[in-house]
Chain A
Amino acid sequence: MKLGLVIDLDTCVGCNACAVACKQWNTSGTTGPLSDLEPYGKDPTGVWFNRIRNYEVGEYPDNKTVHFPMSCMHCEDAACVTVCPTGASYKREEDGIVLVDQDKCMGCNYCAWACPYGARELDREQGVMKKCTLCVDRIYDENLPEDERQPACVLTCPSHARYFGDFDDPNSEVSVISRERNGESLMPEMGYQPVNKYLPPRAKTKVQTYVNDTNPISKVKDWVNRLVTR
């Protein structure tokens, strides 16, 4: 299996629901807690697995605002795993999820430097690296209702901009939608073969304008009343 996410940039409004759902689930999840420093003070920071970047493209008035959620791409050739000196970082053989063994990690930060996607975060309180687990503690949990065995970010997304599934299955929703909508990998030129795909914005919808052959009305007297039954 090759599990991963599809993120639809056509419908993401940058609301941060996915980021907070992720934080909420994972702070009590398999690599929790996700520490927060100065939560009520200056420059609050904490561990997040998923952050929304905001960009503008083009110049006024032809500008576009882009909301871009970023989390672990679960790369097929993950640099973070390659550089890990302790073997804590690994890519699961059975489903391709990249994880960090919290007991083996020494928090050296190599993986964070190696990852071009900014997906790894150091939990300063615990001295270990943390990252998106694709909610491995949800997706296989048979005690959860079947339709809830999804990453928290996918379950919560109000604009249905996130999909989860197996890219090895050509008929899975993620494979089909990536094919149909020309899903793209982020920075494939880096060579890490990221699994997650981004769906580019759809072509802008064009609407025809009504073409009127009649003479324009210029004053009320130009209208002839129509017989309409009330």
Chain B
Amino acid sequence: MSATLPQFENHDQQEHKYTTCYMCACRCGIKVTLEGEEIRFIQGNKNHPINKGVLCAKGNAGIMKQNSPAKLTQPMMRKKGAERGQSDFEPVSWDVALDYLTERLAKIRKTDPKKLAFFTGRDQMQALTGFWATQFGTINWAAHGGFCSVNMAAGGLYTIGHAFWEFGDPDWEHTKYFMLWGVAEDHSSNPIKIGLEKIKRRGAKFVSINPVRTGYQAIADEWVPIKPGTDAMLALSMVHVLLKNDLFDWEFIVRYTNSPYLVLNTPGEAGDGMFYRDADDKPQAWDMEKECFVDANLADTKPALFGEYTTPEGKAVKTAFTAIAETYLSDDYAPENAAKITGVDAETIERMALEMAHVAFEETIEINCEWTDWAGRKHDKFIGRPVSMHAMRGIAAHSNGFQSCRAIHILQVLLGSVDVPGGHLAKPPFPRHVVPPIKPAKPQAAGEPLKSPPLGFPTSPEDLVIDDDGNPLRIDKAYSWEAPIANHGLMHMVITNAVNGDPYPIDTLILFMANMSWNSTMNTSNVRDMLCAKDANGDYKLPFLVVADAFHSEMTAFADLVLPDTTYLERYDTISILDRPISEPHAVCDAIRAPIVDTGRDVRSWQEVLVDLATRLDFPAFKNEDGSAKYKDYKDFIINYEKAPGMGFLAGWRGKDGDKSLRGEPNPKQWEAYVENECFFEYHLPPEHRYYRFANKGYLEFAKEAGFIGKDDPIVMELYSESLQKFRLAGQGLYDGPQPSNEFDKQRLREYFTPFPEYYKPLEQEQTSSEEYPFFAITQRPMMMYHSWDSQNAWLRQILAQNFMYMNRAKAESMGIADMSWIWLESKTGKIRVQVKLMEGVEENTLWTWNAIGKQKGAWGLKTDANEANDGFLLNHLINEHLPEKDGSRPITNSDPVTGQAAWYDLQVKVYPAQEGEVGTWPTFDAIKSLPNAKQSVDKLQYHTHEPVGLHRSLKDIIMRGDTKGSK
């Protein structure tokens, strides 16, 4: 240290530990400096593949999460005689809590396991919770993807075999044109920011498609304010322009997609729209050289991309791409028509398409590298089309989100920009074969584990989880005719369905880390009433509710049993490739969390509790042949559990001596190895395995060996989805298998299960008068807050403690609405009073607000006068979990009709000024009572880990240099 400066930090009293951040789902590596028991500093780990040393605002505020007065401190049960929702709890010991729960669950498991519904919020341990549910034998398990972004995962996995965010990334190193669709500030956090800087430095163009200009869009070269829910039309209109101009990657499409497959063109007959197959069930193509039908997947054929033929059986067939091109060439998708729907003018649509074509085809890049394709042919370079895209919730949270996501992928495929240099890259264990070969579980006899995980990927009506009469078997109606490929379940429907006994009542609902009585539910007020609803006997319609969480959220008050979790700095945890991976495009990665600080409370990690419960409940996978417990705790389970021989939760340091990667027998010292290596594992792919992985022999063989895929056949991208067509045929009454009996279900299958995406209006908008409700209302995601996780954070809430409703300035002024005034927002479901801010950066027909800032009084350790509870608000009150009823329809979920994704962003509202004197947010709710032994929420904070070592100015300096002039 400079001789003139004192020693500011006593490093001898400090130690550094590494773990994985959990202030959001980005999962960056962090280096934590401790001073005694206290956290001095949390910084990004510069060696970590995700964040490479940087850290966002949330990550930097981890100290205040750890210090939050809202941390739950002990297990609690609702007091005898107390009403649910009143927050009248008595502390109990873990033994009492778990004995009680075990007894209750054992009874359910023995009689009717689906009476346990287990839904988890924003967790990243779905491999464990799903396995637990499978062993319990309940089909009623899902994580939160149904109200988050299942449309993106499903849209990708049913089209290209990977997807956006967790399953893929733009090739930031090479891309020259980056198009960002919709709000993405929450997913992902640091990697996108790192990437945006890279492309701006390189001079790549950044285009942002979003009704709102904040966050990432602020630095876009071009901002395209689009009407919410019309993205599919924009994408497909750009496809129209590419086709019109004959600008698409012909070779890429013929070689790597199912576009040349022949499709039966027999409208009105069974089998229409299905692939024409030979006797061995192999899809056929027309070989132009041999002039005959050939196996469409054979190498070295010369398949026709366009054409109509007649089969020897006399059936009319045409190539899939013929059908696709016919549709998208039509005037429906012409820019002039798209402009009317999207609000983006025709010239802009055409120009963007032609710009991307220029970059893809005139600014092609080549990376010299020898690689071998799936058929054993050698290549000496990777050809790259450097156009890349990213999309998340802005696309997902609409009821046309699945097909919109597919539309974006189709645009990428036409440009030849999937898993090529400069394009959209897969992240291992992706790509996977389209569609991944896991089917959703069907119920088993009581006491038996399920034969497959509760969630999977249906490819035909036979895979639905329905009874013989076609009624849903799952509590959330996932995999029923209402949401046939609901791959992440419909968490947003569980409470409503269970309380209504539709399709049946349940006994116990376990919610982990999910705020289902507040910002994670639709129709919040009503759902809160339902949680307390009683039947004629005075019993709760939802008999028993378990809430597991680390913090005192709005949900806790409704619990019958509260199981307090640890914070991310207090526990062992895995970020597994069996789960939601953190791999980078060119490296297989996973990570752990290791405790940094003691809990100091009577809390247990949910991971630990699940392993304990599994053992108490005698799950077969958790006991030895002699009936003794197989795993002593969570750490032991993670080390020794093998999904397949040599494959476990953690891919690093496997093998008895820890010298094997990806696969190898259990290593008893695996946790220690991770801790020594800064808590993450990274396996770099060799250069020849980095691109074209869907058809890259070396990579495919590696991926099979690693257990990522079950076979090393090439991954054929599905522009045309035969799986969707099967459901559509079921809707047409032409399917040789299960078909819906209800006309309403049939119509939805016919309209929305098109084998390639077609634009349709979001369902709520279809059923709502746009004259009466002329505005769209959506949320955006602030970069300094994550959902509701951190609104209790003493530092972050100084940046954002109140959300406003933002509105286009000129539009608002034309309606007599003034900046900062109070307005009413009204939908078909309800109304809210909110404070408005006027701005330029929002599309004229759109209002928006920050997500999940509004809080209930008394929650999250906030005082009752907190801005979040008095001025902040939720849009959720306006959004119904059911669609407006059509003639003759039953209540239908307000979700994507394909995937069941919650359609948060379909909301339509009207807006009018509040009356004189009407101020403050409405509705408000009574303050939640404080919990037993809750930590006091202080009036002031002066956080520091040591007394400051001050710098002093000498008297001489003051005399000699009275002001700065002397210093020059």
Within 8 A of B (CB), among A1-29: 10-17, 19-21, 23-25, 27-29
B833-859 interface with A by 8 A CB criterion: 839-842, 844
Contact B795 A14 (CB under 8 A): no
* Cβ B939 vs Cβ A37 within 8 A: yes
Contact of B358 among A56, A204, A210, A223 (CB under 8 A): A210
| Complex contact A205–B361 (CB within 8 A) | no
- Stretch of B240-248, B601-609, B663-671, B885-893 that contacts chain A: B240-248
B213 pairs with A209, CB closer than 8 A: no
Any chain B CB within 8 A of the CB of A212?
Answer: yes
B215, A28: Cβ atoms under 8 Å? no
**Interface 9-mer from B266-274, B304-312, B922-930:** B304-312
Q: Which residues of chain A from 37 to 85 have a CB within 8 Å of any chain B CB?
A: 37-46, 48, 52, 56, 58-61, 63-67, 75-78, 81-82
| Known contacts A30-B950, A205-B205, A216-B244, A44 near B798 by CB under 8 Å | yes
Determine if A190 is an interface residue (Cβ-Cβ < 8 Å): no
Contact with A along B213-257 (1 / 0, CB 8 A): 111111101110100000000000000000111110011001100
Flag if B953 contacts A65 (CB, 8 Å): no
Q: CB-CB contacts of B927-944 with A at 8 A, as 1s and 0s?
A: 000000000011111111
In the complex, B394 has a CB within 8 A of chain A: no
**Residues on B with beta carbons closer than 8 Å to the beta carbon of A93:** 957, 961, 966-967
Whether A102 sits at the interface, judged by CB under 8 Å, is yes
The answer to whether A35 and B60 touch across the interface, beta carbons within 8 angstroms, is no
Measured CB to CB, the closest approach of chain A to B176, in angstroms, equals 8
CB <8 Å contact, B866 and A17: no
Interface size class of B (residues with CB under 8 A): 35 or more
Q: Is A179 an interface residue (CB 8 A)?
A: no
**Do A104 and B939 touch across chains, with their CB atoms under 8 A apart?**
no
Instruction: Report chain B residues within 8 Å CB of A31.
Output: 948, 950
The answer to whether A81 touches B964 (Cβ under 8 A) is yes
Q: Contacts A15-B56, A77-B965 hold; do A65 and B306 have CB atoms under 8 A apart?
A: no
| Contact between B304 and A28, CB atoms less than 8 A apart | no
Residues of chain A contacted by B304 (CB below 8 angstroms): 225
Instruction: Please encode chain B, from 627 to 643, with 1 for each CB lying within 8 Å of some chain A CB and 0 for all others.
Output: 00000000000000000
In the assembled complex, how far is the CB of residue A145 from the closest CB belonging to chain B, in whole angstroms?
Answer: 9
> Given the complex of chains A and B, what is the CA–CA distance between A125 and B213 in angstroms?
38
Stretch from B161-169, B191-199, B454-462 forming part of the interface with A: B191-199
The smallest beta-carbon distance between A157 and chain B, in angstroms, is 6
CA separation between A61 and B809, bound complex, in Å? 11
CB distance from B206 to the nearest CB of A (A): 7
A40 and B958 contact, CB distance less than 8 A: no
- Whether A136 sits at the interface, judged by CB under 8 Å, is yes
Contact partners of B362 in chain A: CB under 8 A: 208, 210
Q: B44 touching A230 by the CB < 8 A rule?
A: no
Known: A15-B783, A155-B53. A76 touches B866 (CB 8 A): no
Chain B contacts for A64, CB-based, 8 A: 213, 218
The smallest C-beta distance from B469 to any residue of chain A, in angstroms, reads 43
Residue from A41, A42, A90, A225 in contact with B957 in the complex, judged by beta carbons closer than 8 Å: A90
- A155 to B810 CA separation, bound complex (whole angstroms): 41
The answer to whether B322 touches A220, judged by C-beta atoms less than 8 angstroms apart, is yes
Stretch binding the partner chain, chosen from B120-128, B276-284, B294-302, B911-919: B294-302
Contact present for A141 and B9 (CB under 8 Å) = yes
Mark A91-110 against chain B: 1 for CB-CB distance below 8 A, else 0.
11110101101111000000
Q: In this assembly, does A229 line the interface, its C-beta being within 8 Å of a C-beta of chain B?
A: yes
Question: In whole angstroms, what is the CA distance A220 to B951 when docked?
Answer: 77
Given the known inter-chain contacts A13-B215, A41-B863, A159-B196, please indicate yes or no for A36 contacting B246, CB distance below 8 A.
no
Q: Are A35 and B940 in contact (CB under 8 A)?
A: yes
- Which of B57, B361, B795 is close to A36, meaning CB atoms less than 8 Å apart? B795
Q: Is A158 close to B, CB under 8 A?
A: yes
**Residues on the A chain within 8 Å of B51, using CB:** 158
> B964 — which chain A residues lie within 8 A by C-beta?
75-78, 81-82, 90-91, 98
Digitize B28-41: 1 where CB-to-A-CB distance is under 8 Å, 0 elsewhere: 00000001000011
Q: Across the interface, which residues of B come within 8 angstroms of A17, CB to CB? A: 54-57, 59-60
- Neighbour of B60 across the interface among A20, A45, A82, CB < 8 A: A20
Given A30-B950, A37-B939, A39-B794: A60 touches B218 (CB 8 Å cut-off) = no
| Contacts of A87-134 to chain B: CB distance below 8 A | 87-88, 90-94, 96, 98-99, 101-104, 125
Chain A nearest CB, measured from B581 CB (Å):
21
Contact of B43 among A61, A67, A98, A155 (CB under 8 A): A155
Contacts of A30 in B (CB 8 A): 8, 948-951
Which residues of chain A are near B61, meaning CB under 8 Å?
A: 20, 24
- Check if B841 sits within 8 Å of A15, measured CB to CB: no
For the complex, give the distance between the alpha carbons of A78 and B964 in Å.
6
A41/B937 in contact, CB under 8 A: yes
Q: Are B189 and A158 in contact (CB under 8 A)?
A: yes
Q: Which residue of B lies closest to A141 (CB)?
A: B1
B contact residues around A148 at 8 Å (CB): 43
- Which of the residues A12, A103, A157, A220 comes within 8 Å of B219, measured between beta carbons? A12
Known A-B contacts A19-B57, A40-B938, A81-B964; the reply to A212 vs B246 at CB < 8 A is yes
- In the bound complex, what is the Cα–Cα distance between A99 and B840 (angstroms)? 39
Query: CA separation between A102 and B58, bound complex, in Å?
Result: 30
Which of these, B177, B255, B939, contacts A228 with CB under 8 Å? B255
Q: How far, in whole Å, are A88 and B953 apart by their CA atoms in the complex?
A: 7
Contacts of A226 in B (CB 8 A): 250, 305
A129 → chain B, closest Cβ, in Å?
13
**Residues of chain B in range 882-924 having any CB-CB distance to chain A below 8 Å:** none
- B689 → chain A closest CB, angstroms: 22
CB within 8 A of A156: which of B55, B329, B940, B962? B55
Given the complex, which residues of B lie within 8 Å of A21, measured CB to CB? Answer: 43, 55, 60
Q: Is the pair B219, A15 in contact by a Cβ cutoff of 8 Å?
A: no
- CB contact between A125 and one of B58, B844, B940 (< 8 Å): that residue: B940
Beta-carbon nearest neighbor of B375 in chain A: A230
Inter-chain contact B289/A227, CB cutoff 8 Å: yes
Known contacts A39-B794, A159-B197, A160-B197; A16 and B784 CB within 8 A of each other: yes
Contact with B along A205-217 (1 / 0, CB 8 A): 1111111101011
CA of A43 to CA of B865 in the docked complex: distance in angstroms? 9
Instruction: Tell me the smallest distance from the CB of A167 to a CB of chain B, in Å.
Output: 13
Q: Is the CB of B863 within 8 A of A42?
A: yes
Which residues of chain A come closer than 8 Å to B204, judged between CB atoms? 205
Chain B residue contacts of A160, Cβ below 8 A = 54, 194, 197, 201
Query: With A212-B245, A212-B247, A220-B329 in contact, is A60–B1 under 8 Å at CB?
Result: no
- The answer to whether A191 has its CB under 8 Å from any CB of chain B is no
Q: Is the CB of A207 within 8 A of B194?
A: no
The smallest C-beta distance from B61 to any residue of chain A, in angstroms, reads 5
Also in contact, A214 and B795, with CB within 8 A (given A29-B8, A42-B870, A227-B288): no
Contact A65 B63 (CB under 8 A): no
Give Cα A13 to B362, complex, Å.
31
Q: Are A227 and B55 in contact (CB under 8 A)?
A: no
Q: Is A189 part of the contact surface with B, judged by Cβ < 8 Å?
A: no
| Listed A/B pairs (5) with beta-carbon separation below 8 Å | A11-B196, A93-B966, A136-B951, A155-B53, A158-B54
Measuring CB to CB, which residues of chain B are less than 8 angstroms from any residue of chain A? 1-2, 4-5, 8-9, 11, 35, 40-44, 46, 51, 53-61, 63, 69, 176-177, 189-190, 193-194, 196-197, 200-201, 203-206, 213-219, 221-223, 225, 243-247, 250-251, 254-255, 260, 285, 288-289, 298-307, 322, 325-326, 329, 351, 354-355, 357-359, 361-362, 783-784, 792, 794-799, 801, 808-810, 839-842, 844, 861-863, 865-867, 870, 937-946, 948-953, 957-958, 961-968
Known: A38-B940, A90-B958, A225-B305. 18 other contacts (CB 8 A): A12-B219, A17-B57, A17-B60, A20-B795, A24-B42, A28-B945, A40-B938, A41-B937, A56-B840, A59-B840, A64-B213, A65-B218, A140-B2, A159-B219, A204-B221, A208-B362, A216-B244, A217-B246
